[in-house]
Structure 1
Amino acid sequence: MDRKAALRRVGLVVLAGNVLLVAAKAAVWYRTGSLAVGSEAVNSLTDVTYSVVILGGLYLTTQPPDLEHPHGHERIEPFVSLFVAAGIFAAGGAILWSAVGAIRGGGGAIAVAQGPGAAAVLAASAAIKYGLYRYCLRVGETNNSPAVTATAMDNRNDILASIAALVGVLGAQAGYPLLDPLAASAVALAILYTGVEVVLDNVNYLVGAAPPQDLRAEIVRRALAHPEVEGVHDVVAHYVGPEIDVSLHIEVEGERTLLEAHEIESAVIESIRALDEVDDVFVHVDPRELGEWKDDYAEQLAARDGE
């Protein structure tokens, strides 16, 4: 399955799963009044909202390049992820506010969920969220999609939130009603933590940060692997959206013809572009005799690799 189809499918699957969960949790909350179940219903409603945003965003990011966007639309993904984070913060804050108010009230008016319905829906939620987490994580990592990876992280924390809510419901039924709003508070904190993780993971994509060191080292290694390349310098690799643009200078024998230099350049570009994370590669060919080799990061990486 190509990237476009994979990303669009994961958006539909997550949306369908979250719609199912919000309907089930809302029904149980309406019947029992449990604050823990209600907080989970709000959490799932937020998930539905951002699932719609994710689905729309993934549709845009998988559109082909055009005259206005010659490099494609993948750079939209980090903005979609930050929109998700904003919704996560709003939901977490609202739940925490309600839970703290109930705790300060002393627990006298806290509704205790009776019967197995609340526990059953929370246990089922944890199981469904685990399946969505594994699915989204695999698709996000395989297709280098920050938006889908952010969705996986949210589903991972939803598992813990459902377990916390389950503990609160069972504790309230055992005669400790304050455990219900305490569990809701734990759910809220898990939601807020997810928002922080999403923001931190996408900031680098927006500010053009350098990729991890091992990837930069691999770029240098691939350039130096060509038998005609005598040196590499002025290596710059940075994120442009979730993908990486690379520019570098390679040194070849000055007696090479223009055609030979072009073939070397094309081979180096093809080798580096074969890296899944890399989008565009720009290579400048220098005559080795000019002595432009520098003690820069490229040389440090090459030396470190040889240790």
Structure 2
Amino acid sequence: MRGIVLNATLAAVKFAGGVFGNTYALIADGAESLIDILSSLLVWAGFRVAARPPDANHPFGHGKAEPLAALAVAVFIFAIAGWIAWSAIREILTPHQGPHWATLPLLAGVVAVKLWFSRRMTRASEEAGSTGLQVEALHHYSDAITSAAAFVGIGIAVWGGPGYETADDWAALLACAVILFNGVLMFNRALADVMDTAVSPEFESEVRTVALGVPGVAALDKCRVRKSGLSHLVDIQVRVDGELSVRAGHDIAHAVKDALLASAPHAISDVSVHIEPIK
């Protein structure tokens, strides 16, 4: 919720600075901050839903809600970039007065706040393993880049004088390319979770190592791991002595599951173990 309050404050500051400082780049930046509020609400809602325990209608949990919310944020990013680009081109083609110098210190403060908040969100996403928070961190970083581009453009327009009135609009147009690039990164990360993309080889190797360390496990056939919201689901096939009783095989399967859950209590939420005899 802090992100929502921060974006609301920044949006008001940017709009006021844009109107009184005669710079459309800052007004467009303020509009982006308003969209940031909506994206923060989406990520927060996705996070809350993803944290719900499994129920009768969702036996595997609600983990997909988080990357779906992140996908929605990425789509908003594309829309924002398109709107800013269209508006910047319109301003470039329309004669207008240059911006006021007082908008420069305001933008410098905005950039500093956004970079600080982006770093905080990045650390939080790493601690929670949250795709939604990763996307939100990138979103704040994109906003900082947009404001920095506006700062450079307005600076050129102010110090350049007549003939440089559109410098801030060109800067806003250039920032759109960076925003689109970050939007693609966000979209791909969220889509990877929705499509059950394979986890890193290092994570899978850790899962295999833990499973092989369980007494009675002779070998592993397959090991499939997929991310679901803030944690992972593991589907593993282990080989045991074919002469063991059904109960003994069942006990080994439970031991494998317990070992994996204990090895990563926050990273793994459920394990399915299939027992096969050694041939």
Pairwise CA distance, 1:22:
0.1
Amino acid aligned to 1:170: G
User: Is residue 277 from structure 1 mapped to residue 267 from structure 2 by the alignment?
Assistant: yes
- Amino acid in structure 1 at the alignment position of 2:36: D
Helix, strand or coil: the match of 2:181?
helix
Q: Shift of residue 33 of structure 1?
A: 2.2
Q: Secondary structure of 2:125's match? A: helix
| Counterparts of residues 76-225 of structure 1 (less than 5 Å) | 76-105=65-94, 109-116=95-102, 118-174=103-159, 175=161, 176-225=164-213
TM-score by length of 1: 0.83
The structure-2 alpha-carbon separation of the partners of 1:187 and 1:43, relative to structure 1 and needing over 3 Å to count, comes to farther
Correspondence 1:33 to 2:22: yes
Q: Is this contact kept in 2: 1:34–1:113, CA < 8 A?
A: yes
Given the alignment of the two structures, is residue 52 of structure 1 paired with residue 41 of structure 2, yes or no? yes
**What SS class does the counterpart of residue 284 from structure 1 fall into?**
strand
Rounded Cα–Cα distance in structure 2 between residues aligned with 1:62 and 1:237: 19
> How far apart, CA to CA, are the structure 2 residues paired with 1:192 and 1:23?
24
Count of aligned pairs between the two proteins: 274
> Do 2:66 and 2:131's aligned partners in 1 also have CA atoms closer than 8 Å?
yes
Is the Cα–Cα contact under 8 Å of residues 22 and 100 in structure 2 kept in the other structure?
no
Determine the C-alpha separation between the residues in 1 that align with 2:112 and 2:62.
34
- 1:242–1:111 Cα change, 3 Å: farther
Mapped partners of 1:246, 1:65: distance in 2:
16
Task: Answer whether contact 1:39 1:187 (CA < 8 A) is retained.
Answer: no
> Does 71-80 or 23-32 show the bigger shift?
71-80
Deviation at residue 61 of structure 1 after TM alignment: 2.3
Equivalent-residue separation in structure 2 for 1:16 and 1:143 (angstroms): 22
User: Over the residues paired in the alignment, what is the CA RMSD in angstroms?
Assistant: 1.9
Which moves more between the two structures, 19-28 or 141-150? 141-150
Contact kept, 8 Å, 1:206 with 1:241, in 2: the verdict is: no
Render the CA deviation track for 1:2-28: whole Å, top value 9, x for unaligned. xxxxxxxxxx01111101100100011
CA drift of 1:225 comes to 1.5
Q: TM-score, normalised by structure 2?
A: 0.91
Name the CA shift for 1:115/1:209 in 2 (closer, same or farther; >3 Å).
closer
Deviations 1:122-176 (A, max 9, x none): 1111111112111111111111111111000111222222211111111110122
Following TM superposition, where does structure 1 have runs of at least 4 consecutive aligned residues deviating by more than 6 angstroms? Answer: none
How far the C-alpha of 1:201 sits from its partner, in A, is 0.6
